[in-house]
Amino acid sequence: MKTSLLAAIVLLAPAHARAIAAETAPPVILISVDDLREDRVRPDLMPRLSALLE
């Protein structure tokens, strides 16, 4: 019984750790804009994106 319980703890530990990490992990957002050249990131053309640089 003790052996089975220990085995169960060992087996469940990684999944448990992952669950804890997932609960506290920040959301990740990756946005890819097709065709956008760097020199267009300027306040008069893209004010909201430019504001994210501040």
Partner 1 sequence: MYFSSAYAQASWTVPSHASLLSSRYAASHGAGGSPTTLEFRSPRPAPDLVSQLRAHGYAADAYANTPYFDGRFGLTAHFDRAFVLPPVTDPLPSAADWLLATASAPFVFAHTYAVHNYADLQDGLPRRPDGRWRCPAVVDPFKRGSFALMRGRSALSCAESRARYDRAAWCFDEALDRFVTRLKAEGLWDRALVAIVADHGESLCDGAAGRGARKGHGQLGHEEQLRVPWVLKLPGGRFGGRRVETPVELIDAAPTILAALGLPAPESFQGRDRMPEAAGAPGDPAAPVFAETDGGFAVRAGGWKLLWSPSTGWRLHDLTRDPGETRDLSRKQEGKRLELTAALHDHLARQHGPWKVRVRGPRGRDTRLRLSFDAPIVHAAPVFHEKGDGVSVATDAVNATFVSQRDGDEDWLLVETSTPSTRATLLVEIDGAPADASLIHTARGDAAGPQPWTVPPGADAAAAPSAPRDGVTVWGLLDATPVTRRIELPPALREALRRAGYAP
- Summarize as ranges the residues that interact with partner 1 (CB under 8 A): 18-19, 21-23, 25-41, 45-49, 52-54
Q: Report, in Å, the least distance between residue 3 CB and partner 1.
A: 29
Spatial separation of the C-alpha atoms in residues 40 and 1, rounded to whole Å: 67
| Closer by beta carbon to partner 1, 6 or else 17 | 17
Q: Report, in Å, the least distance between residue 10 CB and partner 1.
A: 19
| Closer by beta carbon to partner 1, 2 or else 47 | 47
Q: Which residues of 19-52 are buried (b: 16+ CB within 10 A; e: fewer)?
A: eeeeeeeeeeeeeeeeeeeeeeeeeeeeeeeeee
